[in-house]
Amino acid sequence: MSGESHHHDHGKAQHTHGHGPVVHGASGDTLAAYKQAYEAAVPHADGSVVEVELEAREIDWELAPGVRTTGWGFNGQIPGPVIEARVGDVLEVRLTNRLHEPTVIHWHGLRVPAAMDGTDMVQHPIAPGETFTYRFTLPDAGTFWYHPHMNETVQLERGLYGALIVRGPNEPVLDAERVLVLDDVKLDRKGQIKALGGLIERHDGRQGGTRLVNGKAEPTLPMAAGQIERWRIINASSARYVRLSIGGRPFTILGTDGGLIEAPVRVSEVLLTPADRVDIAVGPFTEGETIAVEALKYNRMTVARAKNESFATIRVGPTAPSRAVIPPTLRRIEPLVSGPVSPTREIHLGVKPSLRHGVNFVVNKEPHHRDKPVKVGELQVWDVINDTMMDHPFHLHGFFFQVLEVNGEAPAFRSWEDTINVLPRGRVRIAWVPDDRPGEWMYHCHILEHHEQGMMGHFEVVPA
């Protein structure tokens, strides 16, 4: 089942041909690392090079019929085009910046070389009018996404994000597939995206009153009765936690951040923090039903009060035959740790008073913390400890981890993740192994305002 599915109403990436690397203004070390990574990216035996042109520019964004605002999009659309490839392919993306400020692209969840991670630690920002080419091999199947990693509170809020789907050889067969990118925006009285607010918004993170699915406000999703669909869901919002419910009906978790989980898990809700992804099997439903896709009330201990809010509505049409088969085993995930283990480091997420901002968000008591290096091949067991009174979604760049414990309890199932929620005064223990991709990396809270204010750590992966 391909991404050509009629459900993808937000466009596909335009493939192009014959572009070499384009780099402007990079330092010697950065340029050398980039060239090495570029040249090392070769497809696997049966893979190919997927070439994509992206252009970041201002657009006229229609949120709903008659409701328009000025947004920033990739290729004139929000979300940007769905980029699709297979495990073992090389992805080559040529980004042209038509904005009036610099930008970059971070490939969220992808195990790329450090030089291709798309942060200002590893590349010179792409100035207005300039072009930069990212090129890397795709080692993992899953639902990923791409977004800027500078001035995020503005650039993501205005619509610069898109889905990236990497397909593996043994995917479950369902009747149809949708990519659903969730977001919200905050509009002023003139219908334009509001400038970042005061102390409360800096503390809570921005949560807008207009909820979006694939760039549209509360759309209707037509679905055939009797069918089971695969929904690939991405939470691209700045700070909104989505406790996802589909009319209270049961659905099946197939995968999370790092692709398929070991066995399907039947639930009636799932929590998606900012930056989280989940793949679920939805249906079957009965002809004539109308079913709410909503975010149930979730109290992340902010000033704003939590409530149930709608994202979309499923309208169930005539019955169609089903060919869906969800196998009892989806993949094998080898545990990184068995038995008791001691953490190799602690990461404390905290706050400090600030005369300018009210509070600053910090890691290990300092903004933009410089953490110790890690060696290639050495098991990392990190305790991520939330010393604050509100939730924080912890995101690790470039590597997947296994969650060992959440507040002393084992998770419901084993999976590969790159983002995990840490509850107020909570502790999450994760395990991961740095593979041979040395260079500068980072971790941070994915509430964009917290990350911007310093809840971030930088570290180096060094050869063994």
Within the chain, which residue ranges are assigned CATH 2.60.40.420?
A: 14-167, 176-319, 345-462
For 144, list phi and psi in degrees, rounded to 5.
Answer: -120, -175
| 361-418 pLDDT per residue, tens | 999 999 999 999 999 999 999 999 999 999 999 999 999 999 999 999 999 999 999 9
Alpha-carbon span 102 to 248, nearest angstrom: 43
Residue 21 is predicted with a pLDDT of 55
Query: What average pLDDT does the segment 183-189 reach?
Result: 93
Q: Which residues of 412-448 are buried (b: 16+ CB within 10 A; e: fewer)?
A: eebbbbbbbbbeeebbbbbbbebeebbbbbbbbbbbb
Residue 28 is predicted with a pLDDT of 62
SS3 letters across the chain:
CCCCCCCCCCCECEECCCCCCCCCCCCHHHHHHHHHHHHHCCCCCCCCEEEEEEEEEEEEEEEECCEEEEEEEECCECCEEEEEEECCCEEEEEEEECCCCCECCEEECCCCCHHHCCCCCCCCCECCCCEEEEEEECCCCEEEEEECCCCHHHHCCCCCCEEEEEECCCCCECCEEEEEEEEEECECCCCCECCCCCHHHHHHCCCCCEEEECCEECCEEEEEECCCEEEEEEECCCCCCEEEEECCCCEEEEEECCEEEEEEEEECCEEECCCCEEEEEECCCCCCCEEEEEEECCCCCCCCCCCCEEEEEEEEEEECCCCCECCCCCCCCCCCCCCCCCCCEEEEEEEEEECCCEEEEEECCECCEECCCEECCCCEEEEEEECCCCCEEEEECCCCEEEEEECCECCCCCCCECEEEECCCCEEEEEECCCCCCEEEEEEECCHHHHHCCCEEEEEEECC
Residue 305 is predicted with a pLDDT of 75
CB atoms closer than 10 angstroms to residue 317: 14
Q: Would you say 314 and 255 are in contact if contact means Cβ atoms under 8 Å apart?
A: no
Of the pLDDT bands very low, low, confident and very high (cuts 50, 70, 90), residue 38 is confident
Query: What average pLDDT does the segment 269-278 reach?
Result: 98
Mean pLDDT of the chain: 92
Query: What average pLDDT does the segment 163-179 reach?
Result: 96
Is residue 3 over pLDDT 60?
no
What burial class does residue 194 get, using C-beta atoms within 10 Å of its C-beta: 0-12 exposed, 13-18 middle, 19+ buried?
middle
Query: What average pLDDT does the segment 36-63 reach?
Result: 93
What residues pair up with 245 in beta bridges, in sequence order?
294
Of the pLDDT bands very low, low, confident and very high (cuts 50, 70, 90), residue 11 is very low
**From the centroid of its chain, how far is CA 359?**
26
Name the percent of the chain lying above pLDDT 90: 79
The residue with greater pLDDT, 302 or 182, is 182
Q: Which of 187-191, 245-249, 267-271, 454-458 has the lowest mean pLDDT?
A: 187-191
What residues pair up with 325 in beta bridges, in sequence order?
173
Please give the CATH number for the structural domain made up of 14-167.
2.60.40.420
CB atoms closer than 10 angstroms to residue 303: 10
Residues whose CB is less than 8 angstroms from the CB of residue 334 and which lie 6 or more positions away in sequence, other chains included: none
Q: Which of 76, 94, 218, 84 is nearest to 160 (CA)?
A: 76
The residue with greater pLDDT, 305 or 447, is 447
- What CATH superfamily classification does 345-462 receive? Cupredoxins -  blue copper proteins (2.60.40.420)
Residue 16 is predicted with a pLDDT of 39
Alpha-carbon span 37 to 40, nearest angstrom: 5
Residue indicated by tokens 């619509």 = 159
| 86-136 pLDDT per residue, tens | 999 999 999 999 999 999 999 999 999 999 999 988 998 999 999 999 999
| 117-130 pLDDT per residue, tens | 999 889 989 999 99
The fold adopted by the segment(s) 176-319 is Immunoglobulin-like (2.60.40)
Residue 9 is predicted with a pLDDT of 36
Residue 22 is predicted with a pLDDT of 52
Is residue 262 over pLDDT 70?
yes
Q: Which amino acid is at 93?
A: V
Residue indicated by tokens 């590893």 = 122
Residue 321 is predicted with a pLDDT of 97
Query: What average pLDDT does the segment 434-439 reach?
Result: 96
Residue 302 is predicted with a pLDDT of 81
Query: What average pLDDT does the segment 177-202 reach?
Result: 90
